Every structure is written in structure tokens, then in C-alpha cells.
Structure 1
Amino acid sequence: MLPLVSSMPLHNLHFLLSESIYRQQHICSNLVTLKDLQGVSETGFLDDVQYDSISLGPGYDRPYQFNPSVREAKSIQLYKHLNLKSCIWTFDAYYDMTELIDVCGGSVTADFQVRCN
């Protein structure tokens, strides 16, 4: 099971997972890659796979877990976020306030407070 993270409400998961056109409203989510965001945002949850920068530690050191000859790059993008020992997914993305409002669809409701819809 893969947790889905988005700043917009998730509807019809079959279409979201199978058709890229339905993921376009979920710019700030783990449904889209940086390649999909090209020109829209500089950050995202799923970045390009850098095999030499993957931290190997407990739960990330299984044989073939990050082997590009066994798994395709899209699978490795997801496996980077899964600790196989604890079965915990971890997704990180950092956005500035302008991106949260202009790109992610957030709105300022009071001074220094932002609410993402």
C-alpha cells in the first residue's frame, strides 16, 4: 500500500493512478515527479533517482532494493521513501509561501497563517 499525499482532495483513485492528465491538479503531491512539474515548481515529493546519494541503513539495505538492473527508476523512486524494516513511508517536500499559495492552491486566512485546501 502506498500512502497518497496531496494538497487537493483525492477523488477516483483509479483515474489518478492510471491517467497522468488527472494528476495535473495534484501539483503538490507524491503523485507527480519533478519531470512532470518541469516549469511549474522546483520542488516535489518524488525527485530524480540519484543512486549514489541513497542512504543505506537499517531498512534501506535489502539486496536489490535500489538495483536499477532489477527495478525500473519509477519503482526505485518509491522504494527510496519506504523503510522495509519498519514498514514506514516517509515523504518530504519543502515549499516556500509563494509556492504554497500560487502553485499548491493554498490561501492566507489570517496574518502568518496559511491553510491549504
Structure 2
Amino acid sequence: MEFCPTCGTMLQYELPHMGRPSRFFCPTCPYVCYIENKVKIKKKMHLDKKDLEPVITDDDMKNASQTDATCPKCGHGRAAYVQFQTRSADEPATIFYTCMNDTCRSTWRED
């Protein structure tokens, strides 16, 4: 939003018409601000993605408690688990499991 520097009223936008450039104008006073249609990009920046750190590391799961839970991927009957409160306090905790089968090591969660 742009405001008139003279009277403080919110400026209105007018589309270009018959060779006249687009502009902001004040509906209460004679203030007009023409808009230049050409935009120049001065500098291009390359954005780098940050490396994501896992919330639960393999060391956490190696030291975690174990339970009888069936892996949905390989069917192994033992898994390590960690509980986190991922939602509000009146909701139950989320349980993250890791399969204890050395060839599988898949992870899943139970809300």
C-alpha cells in the first residue's frame, strides 16, 4: 500500500492506457506518481540448501529402549523406540521406531 505524501490518503492504482504508463494517484488531491515498467535485476544470488540434521540419530536409536513391534517393511518382531511430544501437551506423544534387523533398519512412527 502506498499513501499520498501530501494528504495521507491511500493511493489508487491505474493501469497503463493509450501509451501512458501505469500510475498511483490520490483521489482527494492532484498528487500523481508514475510507475516505471522496466525492472532491472542488479545481482543474481545462488541459493544453497542447508544440510538437514536428523532429529533422531542412529546413536539415539542404538541406546533406545526396545520392544516387540513388527516392522512394516521386513516383518521383524523387534524394534527400538523413542517418544517425543510433537503436538500440544494434551495430545499423546509420537513414538518413532527403528527396526532392529541389521539388514533392514527402516524407521516408522506411530501417532
> Aligning the two structures, in what range does the TM-score lie when normalised by the shorter sequence?
under 0.3
Which has the bigger relative contact order, CA under 8 A and spacing at least 6? 1
Length-normalised TM-score, structure 2? 0.16
> Greater Rg, structure 1 or structure 2?
2
More helix, by proportion: 1
Greater strand percent: which structure? 2
- TM norm structure 1: 0.16
